């Protein structure tokens, strides 16, 4: 088995095409779920992923999609390592993916969550009382209101634009 860097790059390029099961316009790499591709001490390919919200049921689907993509590309044996620390944060979502979310009709998370460099302990995140105005992904208006804490999934809140009257999902910062 080829264990050069070139093969690692090939795995990255294959996995870059794996979409998020819940939001298929963005890839697992763009969302920051796909953390690393490497060879283990025994030479077996390791794919490192970090789950998004622990409540999201999509992780087993993501693992299956990764396995399928690797098999389809004939990349051989692999294993998936799930790494929980540092915990996933919406800060890891790329700018390009944020734009894709907006075009898809999901308001991307606003602001940063303040990633804490020290990852030895799980930080407690304080949610500010005052919420930022969330821009409507369709018309850009910030004249929006929250209808429900949870939207189509626990990761999102349901909002409605007061100007264009359209409801939309807001990807909550985390």
- Binding region for Zn ion (CB under 5 A): 136, 138-139, 141, 161, 163-164
Q: Which of 70, 72, 1 is nearest to 37 (CA)?
A: 70
Q: Give the contacts of 97 (CB within 8 A, at least 6 positions apart).
A: 26, 27, 30, 31, 108
Q: Tell me whether residue 81 or residue 163 sits nearer to Zn ion (CB atom).
A: 163
Residues 47, 78: contact at Cβ < 8 Å?
yes
Q: Tell me whether residue 46 or residue 163 sits nearer to Zn ion (CB atom).
A: 163
Closest separation between CB of residue 159 and Zn ion, Å? 10
Closest separation between CB of residue 133 and Zn ion, Å? 12
Q: Which of 9, 80, 77 is nearest to 43 (CA)?
A: 77
Q: Tell me whether residue 139 or residue 148 sits nearer to Zn ion (CB atom).
A: 139
Closest separation between CB of residue 95 and Zn ion, Å? 22
């Amino acid at each position: 088995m080829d264990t050069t860097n070139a093969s690692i790059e090939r795995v990255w390029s294959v996995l870059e095409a794996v979409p998020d099961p819940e939001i298929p316009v963005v890839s697992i790499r763009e969302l920051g779920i796909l953390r690393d591709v490497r060879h283990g001490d025994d030479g077996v390919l390791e794919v490192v992923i970090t789950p998004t919200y622990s409540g999201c049921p999509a992780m087993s689907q993501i693992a299956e999609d990764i396995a399928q993509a690797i098999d389809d590309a004939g990349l051989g044996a692999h294993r998936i390592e799930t790494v929980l620390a540092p915990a996933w944060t919406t800060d890891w979502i790329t700018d390009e993916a944020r734009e894709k979310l907006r075009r898809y009709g999901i308001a991307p998370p606003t602001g940063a969550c303040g990633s804490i460099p020290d990852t030895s302990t799980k930080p407690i995140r304080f949610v500010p009382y005052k919420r930022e105005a969330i821009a409507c992904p369709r018309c850009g208006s910030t004249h929006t209101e929250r209808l429900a804490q949870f939207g189509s999934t626990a990761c999102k809140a349901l909002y409605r634009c007061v100007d264009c009257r359209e409801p939309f999902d807001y990807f909550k910062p985390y």
